[in-house]
Protein backbone atom coordinates (compact mmCIF):
# COMPACT_ATOMS: atom_id res chain seq x y z
CA UNK A 1 0.00 0.00 0.00
CA UNK A 2 2.75 2.50 1.00
CA UNK A 3 0.47 5.49 1.42
CA UNK A 4 3.14 8.16 1.31
CA UNK A 5 2.86 9.72 -2.06
CA UNK A 6 1.79 13.28 -2.58
CA UNK A 7 1.31 12.97 -6.30
CA UNK A 8 -2.14 14.09 -7.30
CA UNK A 9 -3.92 11.27 -9.01
CA UNK A 10 -5.21 12.85 -12.17
CA UNK A 11 -7.59 10.02 -12.95
CA UNK A 12 -8.03 10.79 -16.61
CA UNK A 13 -10.59 8.96 -18.71
CA UNK A 14 -11.88 7.25 -15.65
CA UNK A 15 -15.43 6.86 -16.81
CA UNK A 16 -14.87 6.22 -20.46
CA UNK A 17 -13.56 2.78 -21.30
CA UNK A 18 -14.77 3.00 -24.87
CA UNK A 19 -13.63 5.64 -27.24
CA UNK A 20 -16.63 7.18 -28.92
CA UNK A 21 -19.63 8.92 -27.47
CA UNK A 22 -21.89 8.95 -30.47
CA UNK A 23 -22.61 5.27 -30.09
CA UNK A 24 -25.38 4.47 -27.63
CA UNK A 25 -23.21 1.69 -26.19
CA UNK A 26 -21.04 3.47 -23.74
CA UNK A 27 -23.62 4.44 -21.18
CA UNK A 28 -24.66 0.86 -20.81
CA UNK A 29 -21.23 -0.53 -20.15
CA UNK A 30 -20.89 2.17 -17.59
CA UNK A 31 -23.84 0.96 -15.51
CA UNK A 32 -22.83 -2.62 -15.93
CA UNK A 33 -19.32 -1.91 -14.76
CA UNK A 34 -20.98 -0.52 -11.70
CA UNK A 35 -23.63 -3.12 -10.89
CA UNK A 36 -22.63 -5.99 -13.14
CA UNK A 37 -20.27 -7.52 -10.65
CA UNK A 38 -21.14 -10.39 -8.41
CA UNK A 39 -22.41 -8.60 -5.32
CA UNK A 40 -23.33 -4.96 -5.88
CA UNK A 41 -26.96 -5.45 -6.80
CA UNK A 42 -27.50 -7.74 -3.88
CA UNK A 43 -26.20 -5.09 -1.54
CA UNK A 44 -28.42 -2.51 -3.19
CA UNK A 45 -31.46 -4.75 -2.89
CA UNK A 46 -30.67 -5.37 0.74
CA UNK A 47 -30.36 -1.67 1.44
CA UNK A 48 -33.46 -0.81 -0.53
CA UNK A 49 -35.79 -1.36 2.38
CA UNK A 50 -33.75 0.06 5.22
CA UNK A 51 -30.24 0.88 6.45
CA UNK A 52 -28.13 -2.06 7.48
CA UNK A 53 -25.04 -2.62 9.54
CA UNK A 54 -22.02 -4.42 8.15
CA UNK A 55 -22.74 -7.77 9.75
CA UNK A 56 -26.41 -7.54 8.94
CA UNK A 57 -25.50 -7.20 5.31
CA UNK A 58 -23.13 -10.09 5.48
CA UNK A 59 -25.71 -12.32 7.08
CA UNK A 60 -28.40 -11.23 4.66
CA UNK A 61 -26.32 -11.78 1.56
CA UNK A 62 -25.72 -15.45 1.45
CA UNK A 63 -22.19 -16.48 0.59
CA UNK A 64 -20.47 -13.12 0.53
CA UNK A 65 -17.09 -12.95 2.20
CA UNK A 66 -16.00 -10.21 4.55
CA UNK A 67 -13.50 -9.02 2.03
CA UNK A 68 -15.97 -8.82 -0.84
CA UNK A 69 -18.57 -7.07 1.24
CA UNK A 70 -16.02 -4.47 2.22
CA UNK A 71 -14.87 -3.95 -1.35
CA UNK A 72 -18.42 -3.79 -2.65
CA UNK A 73 -19.71 -1.24 -0.19
CA UNK A 74 -16.55 0.82 -0.59
CA UNK A 75 -17.03 1.01 -4.32
CA UNK A 76 -20.69 1.86 -3.93
CA UNK A 77 -19.75 4.52 -1.44
CA UNK A 78 -17.16 5.95 -3.77
CA UNK A 79 -19.70 6.18 -6.55
CA UNK A 80 -22.08 7.97 -4.24
CA UNK A 81 -24.67 5.22 -4.30
CA UNK A 82 -24.30 4.27 -0.68
CA UNK A 83 -23.78 6.39 2.39
CA UNK A 84 -21.54 4.98 5.11
CA UNK A 85 -22.05 6.22 8.65
CA UNK A 86 -19.65 5.46 11.47
CA UNK A 87 -20.83 5.75 15.05
CA UNK A 88 -17.86 6.27 17.33
CA UNK A 89 -19.01 3.76 19.90
CA UNK A 90 -17.35 0.72 21.33
CA UNK A 91 -17.75 -1.75 19.87
CA UNK A 92 -17.87 0.16 16.61
CA UNK A 93 -21.10 0.51 14.73
CA UNK A 94 -21.31 1.34 11.05
CA UNK A 95 -24.35 1.49 8.93
CA UNK A 96 -24.99 1.73 5.26
CA UNK A 97 -27.91 3.25 3.44
CA UNK A 98 -28.72 4.17 -0.12
CA UNK A 99 -28.24 7.73 -1.24
CA UNK A 100 -30.82 9.31 -3.53
CA UNK A 101 -28.78 8.17 -6.51
CA UNK A 102 -28.52 4.69 -5.10
CA UNK A 103 -32.23 4.58 -4.42
CA UNK A 104 -32.95 5.49 -8.02
CA UNK A 105 -31.19 2.29 -8.93
CA UNK A 106 -33.72 0.16 -7.14
CA UNK A 107 -36.29 0.84 -9.82
CA UNK A 108 -33.81 -0.30 -12.40
CA UNK A 109 -33.05 -3.40 -10.43
CA UNK A 110 -36.73 -4.14 -10.09
CA UNK A 111 -37.07 -3.93 -13.85
CA UNK A 112 -34.20 -6.37 -14.26
CA UNK A 113 -35.73 -8.79 -11.81
CA UNK A 114 -39.09 -8.61 -13.52
CA UNK A 115 -37.56 -9.32 -16.88
CA UNK A 116 -35.73 -12.26 -15.44
CA UNK A 117 -38.77 -13.78 -13.83
CA UNK A 118 -40.80 -13.35 -16.98
CA UNK A 119 -38.30 -14.87 -19.34
CA UNK A 120 -36.60 -17.42 -17.17
CA UNK A 121 -38.71 -20.37 -18.37
CA UNK A 122 -38.25 -19.52 -22.04
CA UNK A 123 -34.52 -19.18 -21.59
CA UNK A 124 -34.26 -22.40 -19.68
CA UNK A 125 -36.10 -24.16 -22.46
CA UNK A 126 -33.88 -22.57 -25.10
CA UNK A 127 -30.81 -23.79 -23.27
CA UNK A 128 -32.22 -27.23 -22.97
CA UNK A 129 -32.93 -27.33 -26.70
CA UNK A 130 -29.51 -26.03 -27.56
CA UNK A 131 -27.73 -28.50 -25.35
CA UNK A 132 -29.77 -31.29 -26.85
CA UNK A 133 -28.86 -30.20 -30.36
CA UNK A 134 -25.19 -29.74 -29.51
CA UNK A 135 -24.29 -32.46 -27.04
CA UNK A 136 -20.61 -32.42 -27.86
CA UNK A 137 -20.17 -28.68 -27.64
CA UNK A 138 -19.53 -27.15 -24.28
CA UNK A 139 -19.89 -23.41 -24.16
CA UNK A 140 -19.55 -23.08 -20.46
CA UNK A 141 -16.01 -24.33 -20.33
CA UNK A 142 -14.91 -22.79 -23.61
Phi, psi of 64 (to 5 degrees): -80, 140
**Could you tell me what percentage of the chain is helix, strand and coil, using 3-state DSSP and rounding each to the nearest 5?**
55, 10, 35
Using CB under 8 A as the binding criterion, the count of chain residues that bind a copy of itself stands at 68
Scan residues 5-44 and list those touching a copy of itself (CB under 8 A): 5, 9, 11, 14-15, 18-20, 23-25, 27-32, 34-38, 41-42
Sketch the per residue contact string, 79 through 118, with a copy of itself: x for CB under 8 A, - otherwise.
xxx-------------------x--xx--xx-xxxxxxx-
* Residues 6 or more apart in contact with residue 84 via CB below 8 angstroms: 73, 77, 94, 95, 96
Task: Name the binder of 93 from DNA, a copy of itself, none, CB < 5-8 A by kind.
Answer: DNA
Q: Which is nearer to a copy of itself, 51 or 126 (CB)?
A: 126
Between the alpha carbon of residue 113 and those of residues 9, 22, 24, 119, the distances in Å are: 38, 29, 23, 10
Q: How far is residue 50 CA from its own chain's centroid?
A: 18
3-state secondary structure of 14: coil
Residues that bind a copy of itself (CB under 8 A): 1, 3, 5, 9, 11, 14-15, 18-20, 23-25, 27-32, 34-38, 41-42, 45, 61-63, 71, 74-75, 77-81, 101, 104-105, 108-109, 111-117, 119-120, 122-131, 135-139, 142
Amino acid sequence: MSPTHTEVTVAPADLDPCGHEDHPDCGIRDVLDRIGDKWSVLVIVELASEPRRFRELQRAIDGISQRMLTLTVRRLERDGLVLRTVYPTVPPKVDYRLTATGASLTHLVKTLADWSVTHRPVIAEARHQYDQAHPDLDIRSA
